[in-house]
Amino acid sequence: MNPAHREAIELVIDFLKTQLEEDTSHDLLNLVRAVAHVTDISEAAMYGKSRRAAVCQARQLAMYMCKTLYFVSNAEIDRLFMRTHSTACRAIKRVEHLLTYDQKTKNQVYQITHYARCNGPHTNPNT
């Protein structure tokens, strides 16, 4: 990642941390942090432009979790991740589909939910 792009991402993260003071905004930042922790992808990468599969999957999980845990509108998700409306909609549908058959995705959603709500890592007792 070039230094200018990294700096832009850091500015966005700083902006979100300082300007979005509502509880939901704080929760969304914790949620992105939880996704980063569980998927081992950096927060900056999730806000970035990378199309690597692992980064895209983490970003999609974060978008899905924003929608399902905090009932954030698609428009807000678009702005948070600097993506188009159709990208956010597709991400949410993709994770919903994966949850019907993919145990890894189910476990990640479980871990992210607990990490975000409790601010600490937890493991799924059913695995």
Q: Is the dihedral of CA 110, 58, 47, 74 positive or negative?
A: negative
The pLDDT assigned to 65 comes to 87
Residue 115 reports pLDDT greater than 70? yes
What is the 3 state secondary structure string of the chain? CCHHHHHHHHHHHHHHHHHCCCHHHHHHHHHHHHHHHHHCCCHHHHHCCCCCHHHHHHHHHHHHHHHHHHCCCHHHHHHHHCCCHHHHHHHHHHHHHHCCCCHHHHHHHHHHHHHHHHCCCCCCCCC
The pLDDT assigned to 18 comes to 56
Residue 106 reports pLDDT greater than 70? yes
Q: How many CB atoms lie within 10 A of CB 91?
A: 24
How high is the mean pLDDT of the chain?
Answer: 79
CATH number of 3-118: 1.10.1750.10
The span from the CA of 103 to the CA of 108, in Å, is 9
Question: pLDDT tens, 60-95?
Answer: 999 998 888 878 888 888 888 888 888 889 999 999
pTM of the model: 0.72
Cβ–Cβ under 8 Å, residues 60 and 91: yes
The pLDDT assigned to 125 comes to 45
